[in-house]
Each structure stands twice: as structure tokens, then as C-alpha cells.
Amino acid sequence: MVTTNPITQMAFLFVLSTLLSVIVIRLAIDKALALGIADHPGGHKQHDTITPFVGGVGVFAALAIALVVLFMLYPDQSLKWLSLGLSAIIIFATGFADDILQLNYKVRLIIQAMVAMIMVAAGGVVLSDLGELLPGMTLTLGLLSIPFTVFAAIGGINALNMIDGLDGLAGTVSFISLLLISTVALVAGDMSNLTLAAAIAGGMAGFLFFNLRYGAQRRAKVFLGDNGSMLLGFLFAWLLVDLSQGAHPAITPVTAIWLFSIPLMDTISVMLRRLSLRKSPFTPDHNHLHHILLHAGFRVEDTVLVIAFLHLLFGAIGLTGLYLGIPEFVMLFSFLLIYMGYFYVTLRPWYFIMALRHLHAFLGLIPTENHGMFLGSYSATEAERLVKMISKELGPAADSWVHVVEQYSPHQHNEKRYSVALNIRLISDNIAMDEENKRYITSVQQRMLERHGIQVRQFIERSSKNERRLQNQGNPTGNEQRISERRSATSTILVFEALFERHAPPTIFSPRQSHTLDSRETSLDTIQFSNEPIKRTNNHEI
């Protein structure tokens, strides 16, 4: 580097790392698709297309640049940089093996512990004290320093891996943390850690170019994969421990948890919840914060933005406490208070879904639209009466909303007709809630039939076992009867769907807060209609 200005040096390193990351990821995408090294949709995953999981190669390439610079600038610490490089290679290879072979979690933990031991024994990066957690008293770990460091490193490696569930989420959170870490390293004059953080931030910027949803890019072209998330988690453990220890630390250990707040809080919350349900803490589920926001109707892009804002806010609080000299025990207590609130939200998400929906509407964000449904064709008077009846029957506590869509027909003359559909969202993440949902649906079906003479029928998964069109092939009468039964303008069959985790782009207009519609709010004159027909956006029968 030709200039001695550290900011200019780091900016150059950041740009160089970004460009290299973009190049190697672009090449890796083509190679991965050719070799079939890609993530497939299904299970707990949110994506619906085959996507390469080679984002980690961009991070690894950026780390390689950082190591070259560190060896050049600080040759007296060669053993430290060698241990960093060796640990990174091992954890990166382990992540790739896990992506392809689905390693047993015990194998992963053993390898992660080994990597953490290399960090401690050869790299000299060890957590020797936890700071002044009591007034005027520094809590030193003594003989517990090595096992505590190993535990913290394993936690960091897996924390980032667990929040890697949406396009752009783990990458954006990591990028924010790296910027905050670069700031504290620059202020403290810790140029070696600043070099490492700036280079990795560039690697993340290159990765986000392919992973974020923006403009015409409506889905991620590449995933971070376990290879990338585990490598990043290890690098965060290295940076945060190294910055918080020594004779002149750049941050306190308490500040470190603020800078890594969202991955830390989300992982602990989800693992405690799984253990409370007697599940393995490593079993994937849909109880993370980003799943709760998706339940509340936030788009993927908005969910990433909200979580990124929270992460930046928490990091800023940590730095404010550090530079204002607020006692560490006060900052720790504050963090625990925020964590308790975070944990309660993830423990009882159904209490907060509606509040988040109101927040979503208040912010004016674009709503997510779920599976299409068809009730029937109604006149304005009939549709208005039906909407009022649904609202009154379900009540304001139900997590539901009504779609009213103006229909177009070439045979339509004077009277406009509207299709009406009802959506009820239910959360299901354990057997007890599944049974409760079944009881609720049965209750709705009985009430609607007994009180209003309307048969409520839940959608079912399309398959050869329940697809009557396949069963009735060669029997036009049966098929015609099915069409008449489900599509007739005079049908009294109300079809609704119990929603779980599926999300799709908007297809029809949904009136806000329709779950609280009453006689003053349901006039069709006050509702905006879409001229688009209801579309089928999933594999359910409509």
C-alpha cells in the first residue's frame, strides 16, 4: 500500500476484497451448478429454487487477502496468523462437508472445539476475564479461561449459522457487525484487527451482491452455506475475544455481546425454546425472529431491514455505553433486560403477531400475499353481507382477513360481481398447537354451517390420493360436477385455508385490518378493488 493513511489503506483493502469476492463467487456459482453442489428447497427452508451454497468462498478469499497483508505488516506474529489460517481452513472445509453430507452435529461440535483450541493454544486468543461485572471487581476466569473460550467460540460459530434463514439476513447482520468492529479497532488503533475486519467486510459486500434481494433480483443467486456461516462465526469469535482482552483492550467483553446481539439473542432464545419442548437444540424450526416477522406479513426484504435496524441499534447502544464510560454491570443488566423481552417474543409469538401486523400497516410496508383462494361470485349486496357476517363470527381476536376482488366478465352488463375469500392464519410448531388448530378449524366449520348454512372447507395438499380430477379421468360428469361445486356463482361453499409458513408475492388486494371489519367498515364503496384475477401461487387445490 502506497499511503500511510490508515483509513485510505483500509478503504483500498475493502474495495479489493469486495472485487475478489464478487469474482470468486461468480466463478463458484457456475462450478457448483455444474457439479450439483446446491441447496434444494423443502423442509424448513424458505426458498423454492435450487441455489448454490458457495457464498463462503468469497469470505475465504477476503480472509486470504487479509492474511497476506497481516504477514507483511506483522511478521513477528506469524504464528498467530498461521493459526488463524489453519483454523479457517478446517472450519471452512467442515462447513462444506456439512453442506454436502449433512454431518452429525456431534461431529461438527468436535471439529469446532478443535478449531477453538487452535485459536487458544497457537493463536493466543483467549478469554481471560469477563470485565467488571460487579462494581469495582474484574471477574477473571483463571483455569476456566480455556474451556470458557472454547465454549464461546463454538457458540459464535453456531449462532451465525442459525440465523442464516433468509436471503440477505446473515450477510447484512454480519456486515453491520464488521463495520462496528472496524470502528472500535480504528478508534483503539488496533491495526491488525482493523485489517482483518475491513477485509472480511469487503468479502461480505461481495457476497451480498449475489445474496440480497434488490431491483430485478427477486431471489438470492447464492447462499452463504454452512461453509460461509461457520467461517464467519469463527472469525467473529476471534475478533471479539481478541479485541476485548489484553493490556489495552479496544472493547469490554460486555460490549462484545452488544456487537453480536441479534445472532446471540436469537440463538439462545430458540435453543432454550427447543429444550423446553424436549427437542434437540440443533433441530431446525420456524421460531426465529425472522419467521415471526414473516408470519406478521413482512416481506423478506422488510424483514431483513427490520432485523438489520435492530442489530445496528443494539450495536450503537453498546458503543455508546463503552465511550460514555457507563459501568459494565449496567450495560450487562440492560442487555439482559432486552434479551428477556426478545425471548418472550420468540416464546409466545402468537401474542405479538397482530401487533406486528398493525406496525406493518402503520409503516406502510408492502404486504405479503399468501395462497390464493376462491369462495364464489357475489353481487355487491351479497358480498357486503358475507364480509360483515365473517367479521362478526370470527371476532377481532382472530388472526384473519378478507379478500374482496372485483371480477370481470365479458357477459357482465349492469351488476358488478365480486369474489370473496377468507384467510385465517394459524401458527403450528408443536403437537399441542397442531391439535389446538384442528379444534379451532372444526369449531369454525360447525358455527358457520349451523348459524349461516355455509359449508367451510379447508384446502388440502394436491396429490393423486385426493385429486378428484385424476380419479375422474374419462368421466366428464364427475369432473363437471366438481367444477360446478367449487366454481359456481351460486355456491354456498366458503373455502378458507389454514396458513403456516408459506409466502408468495402479492396477487390481489387485501384490505388492511379486515379482521376487525364491522358494519361501518365493510361498505364496498370504501374498499379498493384489484382487477387482477385470483392466481394460484402454490401447490394447494383451489
Binding-site annotation: residue ranges for Mg(2+): 161, 226
CB-CB contact of 388 with 517 (8 Å): yes
CB-CB contact of 185 with 193 (8 Å): yes
Alpha helices, DSSP H, located in 415-457:
431-452
CB-CB contact of 161 with 233 (8 Å): yes
d(CA 282, CA 227) in angstroms, rounded, equals 17
**DSSP code string of 38-82:** EE---TT----S-EE--THHHHHHHHHHHHHHHHHH-GGGHHHHH
End-to-end CA distance of the chain: 63
> Exposure of 410 by Cβ count < 10 A (0-12 exposed, 13-18 middle, 19+ buried)?
exposed
E runs forming strands in 342-463: 377-379, 400-406, 417-425, 455-458
Residue ranges for the binding site? Answer: 161, 226
Q: What angle do CA 49, 366, 422 make, to 5 degrees?
A: 85
Nearest to 457 by CA among 484, 431, 405, 422: 422
CB-CB contact of 389 with 433 (8 Å): no
Burial 494-521 (b: 16+ CB within 10 A, else e): bbbbbbeebbeebbbbbbbebbbbeeee
- Tell me if residue 420 falls in helix, strand or coil: strand
Nearest to 489 by CA among 385, 389, 379, 403: 379
User: For residue 125, what are the contacts with CB-CB under 8 A and spacing of at least 6?
Assistant: 80, 119, 149, 238, 241, 242, 245
Instruction: Please give the C-alpha separations between residue 145 and each of 55, 58, 142, 249, 418, in angstroms, as whole numbers.
Output: 33, 33, 6, 17, 68
- Tell me if residue 499 falls in helix, strand or coil: strand
Q: Which amino acid is residue 240, in one-letter code?
A: L
